Amino acid sequence: MHIHILGICGTFMGGVAALAKEAGHRVTGCDAQVYPPMSTQLERLGIGLVEGYGADQLAFKPDLWVIGNVVSRGNPLMEAILDAGLPYASGPQWLAEHVLRGRWTLAVAGTHGKTTTTSMLAHILDQAGLEPGFLIGGVPQDFGTSARLGGGSPHAPWRSLPPEGAAAAVGRPGGVGGASGFFVIEADEYDTAFFDKRSKFVHYRPRTAILNNLEYDHADIFPDLAAIETQFHHLVRTVPRSGQLVVNAGSEALQRVLARGCWSEVVRFDAADGWTAQGGEQAFDVLLNGEPMGRVCWDLTGAHNRSNALAAVAAARHAGVFADAACAALSNFRGVKRRMELRGSAGGVAVYDDFAHHPTAIATTVAGLRAQMDADPAARDGRILAVFEPRSNTMKLGTMKAQLPAALAGADLSFGYAGGLDWDLAAALQPLGERAQVHAQLDALVAAVAAQARPNDRVLVMSNGGFGGVHDQLLRALAARAAVPGQR
């Protein structure tokens, strides 16, 4: 099959393209801006890319046009496809029909932590010899790619299992019947396409679903939290009665979702009558109903990652991996690019990159870094300099600007980038007083951070975009400052 993907350079659609290519399909695609790293990744796979959405691309004559959710009515190529009556489908629909069908799908949904938890779960299954396929909205350090089909044949592995489920059929560690039919997917609640306003995840039909947390987000799509809860309940409705929901017990919104109706087994984490963690953030015991099941010792920080680990261990157990084997796998989990990723050091100042963009994620990320520094005697006199870009559609609308001061309160200094915003970021950060600065030009922001930074500080850059390559600019500015005699 030849498919031509509209919006191919997005993280999700780029992953779909990679999976289609690996499955033996001919893949081409287009986007408004064809640029690295996705463009180079796709070109390396032999996928032809076209800049723009010209109607002349009808000459490709693919068997199917696969439409990303960045495409809207009025797009010249989409209008030409509609006028010609050509076959088209959304990315999630194509994925469901050509990759997920017949597999044991494990979906990870939630406002925060999807990418990291999906990566943890895929890593656990991989370490257990299950060779899972996966599609992740980031690049796990242990795999070096965001998508793969996985080993074995994509049959329905649970059909040969005893009634008590997968866990009873799997050794320590091992696969189900020696074959892999598992696929782990980051289940996004964003809408599917201009012609399908359901959340992407309703297409995936998971047998195991993690509901990590739920807060208001995507203000450009959803009017309120209740609307998102409705979409999450649509996901719950797709899980079979022999399936399992792994649910954060601390989320009131998720409890409301389940109260609407639930037909599957529910396993809770961060709950006394479910999965809990005992210990610190970097070394902790995993317990089920108070009974020790395994121990995790890793380099990740933050209570949020400890909760992510509980969710991944619980979901892996449903797929047949013993908890102690899952914990051992997490102890060598190396994390995900752009999740508290150290980009470099200069002049004694470390520069980190993180994807945080929602106020809750910002606060959690800052707290995780603070905990890491507090645990290191050599770092306790260092400061956190938070550098952030309100770039997501929700943040651009200013919907959550009132939450920003509290989200950044754990940082010693905050530097906001106001380029392209239609609302007053400086006014929003006024409660932080002199601890916050706002700059409309990137070079001015870099200069301000470099002027304030001193040895042993941590510069924490937070954005869900490229942020104009600010990380490398900061490292160069810090190195140049350190090279000047008398400068700290």
DSSP string for residues in 33-96: S--TTHHHHHHHTT-EEEES--GGGGGG--SEEEE-TT--TT-HHHHHHHHHT--EEEHHHHHI
37 preceded by a cis bond (ω within 30 of 0): yes
The pLDDT, as a whole number, for residue 178 is 35
**Residues 374, 375, 377, 383, CA torsion sign:** negative
Whether 143 contacts 122, CB under 8 Å: yes
Q: Which helix (H) or strand (E) holds 344?
A: strand 341-346
**Nearest one of 115, 201, 212, 106 to 150, comparing CA atoms:** 106
Q: Which helix (H) or strand (E) holds 474?
A: helix 470-482
Q: How far apart are the first and last CA of the chain?
A: 60
Between the CA of residue 319 and those of 104, 332, 434, what are the distances in Å? 8, 20, 51
Whether 65 contacts 6, CB under 8 Å: yes
What is the spatial distance between Cα 169 and Cα 166, in angstroms, rounded to a whole number?
Answer: 5
CATH number assigned to the domain with residue range 102-330, chosen from the 4 options 3.40.50.1000, 3.40.1190.10, 3.40.50.300, 3.20.20.100: 3.40.1190.10
Whether 104 contacts 319, CB under 8 Å: yes
The pLDDT, as a whole number, for residue 488 is 57
What is the spatial distance between Cα 344 and Cα 474, in angstroms, rounded to a whole number?
Answer: 10
The one-letter amino acid at 325: A
The pLDDT, as a whole number, for residue 35 is 65
Whether 409 contacts 432, CB under 8 Å: yes
Over residues 388-426, the pLDDT tens digits come to 888 777 777 777 788 899 989 999 999 989 888 888 899
Beta bridge partners, 278, equal: 285
What is the spatial distance between Cα 282 and Cα 373, in angstroms, rounded to a whole number?
Answer: 12
| 3-class secondary structure, 457 | coil
Whether 280 contacts 301, CB under 8 Å: no
Q: Which residue has the tokens 């998720």?
A: 254
The pLDDT, as a whole number, for residue 172 is 34
**Nearest one of 455, 288, 323 to 385, comparing CA atoms:** 455
E strand spans, 231-336: 244-248, 265-269, 275-279, 283-288, 291-297
Q: Which helix (H) or strand (E) holds 361?
A: helix 359-374
Whether 141 contacts 334, CB under 8 Å: yes
Q: What is the DSSP letter of 99?
A: I
Q: What is the DSSP letter of 236?
A: H
The pLDDT, as a whole number, for residue 226 is 94
If one counts every other C-beta atom within 10 angstroms of the C-beta of residue 258, the result is 18
Q: Would you tell me the crossing angle of helices 303-318 and 323-330 to the nearest 10 degrees?
A: 140
Spatial strand order of the sheet with 275-279 comes to: 147-148, 133-135, 182-186, 104-109, 208-211, 244-248, 265-269, 275-279, 283-288, 291-297
E strand spans, 68-180: 88-90, 104-109, 133-135, 147-148
List the CATH code of the domain at 341-482: 3.90.190.20
All residue ranges of the chain with pLDDT < 70 are 35-37, 152-180, 337, 485-488
The pLDDT, as a whole number, for residue 486 is 61
Beta bridge partners, 107, equal: 185, 209
| 3-class secondary structure, 416 | strand
May I ask the CATH architecture of the domain 2-92?
A: 3-Layer(aba) Sandwich (3.40)
Q: Domain coordinates of the chain in residue numbers? A: 2-92, 102-330, 341-482
The pLDDT, as a whole number, for residue 37 is 66
The pLDDT, as a whole number, for residue 377 is 81
Whether 461 contacts 387, CB under 8 Å: yes
Q: Which residue has the tokens 């690996």?
A: 22
**Nearest one of 283, 308, 281 to 295, comparing CA atoms:** 283
